[in-house]
Amino acid sequence: MSRSTTKPSLLHGLAAVSFSATAGAAAALILTACSPGSTAATDDPAPQSSPAPQGLLTEAAAEKIVDTFQSVNNRANAVRDAKLLGTVEAGQVYEQDSADYKLFKTWPTKEQKTYTQAFTYEDREYLIPPASSGANWFAVTSSPSDDPKGNRRSLAVFDKVGDTYKLVMALWTDMKSIPKIDTDRHGFISPVDPAKKVGTLAPNEISAVYEDFFETGGKTASHKLASTPTTKESVRIYKVRNDGDAGTWSTTRFFAADPAHPKVYALRLENGGVLALVPTAHTEEQILKPAYMGNFLITPSKREAVFGNTRRTVITNEYQGQAIVELPRTGKPLAHDLEYQLVDSR
């Protein structure tokens, strides 16, 4: 997972609820005492109290998983070892972070130095589902040690990949606008089926809808998703796509793409809505205008050249992303946080 200082473009946040139940604790069995040979109350045994439900894992086990990730992540970041990182990371976040390693040489010296310094996840709040939910993932929010003022929080999901829990999605947020996550009396969260509609959309429908902001400026998406700073920024990118000198000799367009890892993670909010972590993806195509086709070639940018430095008539860039989206019971879903990374250029 990248440091908060290297991916600062995300918005708003989450009020987390700490996990407090002791998974696996069983209540004592209470029996009515009788003297030998007595028949009193033998036909009416005292009721048993139900054992407390178990969590997917204990808070101590979750903390160990996060500690291991933190240590390995820091070592991998220091030397940009994607294979090492892959032992503790997968999913969309790995698509982005392994691309970070490739793009590292194009970053300013100050940003490189910050990225390679070790950091820790402070003030953690674990969001653990009950074992009975069938979910194989848990979440955690935390503050990074390189943000002493506590302006940002991370929301991270660890899912079971094979036999190992790995970080699969992670976004930075400022914890101000998202309602509190719902927990039961044992402190467990309530995972939600991503295919189940919440109001007008299901969590697993968000990605395809959102990419319309890049493809058309939101002709369809603006009617289905609420206007937020995140959607406004996406529309701005669409509007300026052909500005500048490059727009005189080339045309740039965006196309929705399939996320590399399509799994959506959703959990219930205290107000009855749903919070979803959604994978997103699109391609960006820059193509020479017909009048320039026979005589010119496009030179890749410094970042694009990392993946392919051949001059060409068409440059196609692939972006893989993640988003935090709130789906209220009524009204349009709100995209609170969104992040893309260039992962290929051809």
In this prediction, residues 224-242 reach a mean pLDDT of 97
In this prediction, residues 8-20 reach a mean pLDDT of 31
Q: Write down all domains in the chain, each with its CATH number in brackets.
A: 1-24+53-191 (3.10.450), 192-346 (3.10.450)
Q: pLDDT by residue (tens digit) across 244-290?
A: 999 999 999 999 999 999 999 999 999 999 999 999 999 999 999 99
- Spatial separation of the C-alpha atoms in residues 319 and 325, rounded to whole Å: 19
State yes or no: pLDDT of 138 exceeds 70.
Answer: yes
Per-residue pLDDT, 178: 80
Indicate the helix (H) or strand (E) that contains 103.
helix 91-103
Q: pLDDT by residue (tens digit) across 23-75?
A: 333 333 222 333 334 444 445 555 566 677 899 999 999 999 999 999 999 99
Confidence of residue 243 (pLDDT cuts 50, 70, 90): very high
Distances in Å between the alpha carbon of 242 and those of 148, 186, 239, 248, 255? 40, 54, 8, 8, 15
| Percent of the chain clearing pLDDT 70 (strictly above) | 84
